[in-house]
Structure 1
Amino acid sequence: MINIAICDDIFEVTSQTEALIKKYNPTFSIDVFHNPIKLIEFLSKSNYHLFILDIEFPDSSGLEIASRIRELNAQVPIVFITSFDSYAMEVFKLHTFDYILKPLNEEKLFPVLDKVIKYLNIDEKHFVFQFNKVNYTLPLQEIVFFEKNMRKVLIHTLEEDYTVIMTTRDLLANLDDNFVRVHNSYVINIRFVREIRNDYLTLDKDKSPDIWIPISKNYKLAARKSILMKLREKIR
């Protein structure tokens, strides 16, 4: 189930946004907040897949809320709805997912929801494997990167690490196009890329320190091209 938080101090806007989302998909779970302080109080104990925020509040800013969200979760999509287009630069500095001008309607919101679903891998693709006679099924969206060590593959997820005996060919055959090989020993999930440099990149694993992954000469051009194309898709 997809959990969505809507925060706007105008009741008509939240009602309209909620109705549009329910029309798009009635199975989505929606929490509505009219006070940004209440939303901030819920952040540490909630598990939202998408935030839809107004930018301007009487005593605070949606940008401040987004900054707080980013401290807790670097990947969750944040969509701003606003009556003004003068905040675009500030919005994209926070790595937000999209920016919609009011009044909200299907033509504006539904394509954004389509992108969110694609970004979150809502089709529930999984990586299935067996190790020590135990079967595992991991959602691809929760795998940060794979690390090859001889015959073993170390699977680094958001929560814990796993091991499987698998060839690189079989590994790549079971992944989608969100995964890119950047080195003989590393296959990374583009969704977690924070920064890409000439010979390395960093991955953001929520509250953990950034993970440094080398980019080898053999994969540099193809990997950078794939990563940059995917990252552009996120902000279209």
Structure 2
Amino acid sequence: MKPVEPETEGGHRMLRAVTDVEDTGYAAWLREVVNEAAGFAVVSFVQTGPDWVDIPEADLFISAISLKDGEKLERLKRLQKERPEMTLVVAGPDTEDVLDAWQVDFAAFLRGTRNPGRLQQVVLEVQQRLDEKEGRKLQMTWKNVLRFIPMEQIISIEKDLRKTNVCLADGEVCTSYMRMDDVLEQLDETFIRIHFSCIINRRYIQKVRRDCVILRDGRHLPVSRTYAKNLMPLMKDGA
């Protein structure tokens, strides 16, 4: 298979998810779960037909299969050997665990119950692998201690008087006296400035409104008029 240049958003490497599920309602649900896990602003989600035309550039492939479809299973096994760096997820309507039934080494979940937890965990693992491969880290100092913070763990960066607080996904808050402009110089296009005193990570956006951003940790952060234009590409109709 000929490698394809990964899709980018403003220079940022996006997680490429592909599915061959033909049921439009189920495919829409898959898209929703994948976006919820990784962040809708950093995922490229594509539906492909039985020819699997978009597979060469996929990081995650979600394939619909039945226990009766032995030919397709063999095709998936060959695909796994050809693309060992790609994660395969099998969606099966007639078995609780295709993984055990067929003794293959990729993730599986029950289509009948639409178990989002299992799929979300797989998405997070794929995203973490991509982030580690890129190795992006924010360098900051606090009380003469130098720290390197993986950027995928950063939810937001907020100015509080002289201090700059870096809020992480695990609940930790790292503090520094760095200026926001100095922080911005280290960040890539994954991050968006929404206020003079606030920068957010696209991955943790749950919803964008005209006057605020709702993050996946439940916080509502105000958007200033000056920086509202930075969020226009992410605005949904009726937001």
**Of 138-147 and 54-63, the range deviating more from structure 2:** 54-63
For residues 201 and 223 of structure 1, what CA distance do their matches in structure 2 show?
9
Matches within 5 A, 1:1-236: 11-22=73-84, 25=85, 52-59=88-95, 61-62=110-111, 64-65=113-114, 67-69=116-118, 76=124, 120=131, 122-159=133-170, 160-205=172-217, 210-225=218-233, 227=234
For residues 63 and 212 of structure 1, what CA distance do their matches in structure 2 show?
35
* 3-state SS in 2 of match to 1:202: strand
Question: How far has the Cα of 1:181 moved from its partner?
Answer: 0.4
Question: How far has the Cα of 1:153 moved from its partner?
Answer: 0.6
Question: How far has the Cα of 1:21 moved from its partner?
Answer: 2.3
* Code of the aligned partner of 1:76: L
TM-score (norm 2): 0.55
* 3-state SS in 2 of match to 1:170: helix
* Change in 2 beyond 3 A, CA 1:213/1:158: same
Q: Which runs of 5+ in 1 are unaligned?
A: 26-49, 79-115, 230-236
* Change in 2 beyond 3 A, CA 1:149/1:212: same
**Cα offsets for 1:83-139 (capped at 9, x unmatched):** xxxxxxxxxxxxxxxxxxxxxxxxxxxxxxxxx699747311110111111111111
Q: Which runs of 5+ in 2 are unaligned?
A: 1-58, 97-109
* Change in 2 beyond 3 A, CA 1:64/1:203: farther
Between the two proteins, the alignment pairs up a number of residues equal to 158
Quick one: percent identity of the two aligned structures? 18
For residues 81 and 186 of structure 2, what CA distance do their matches in structure 1 show?
38
Supply the RMSD in Å over aligned alpha carbons.
3.6
For residues 133 and 119 of structure 1, what CA distance do their matches in structure 2 show?
31
* Code of the aligned partner of 1:211: R
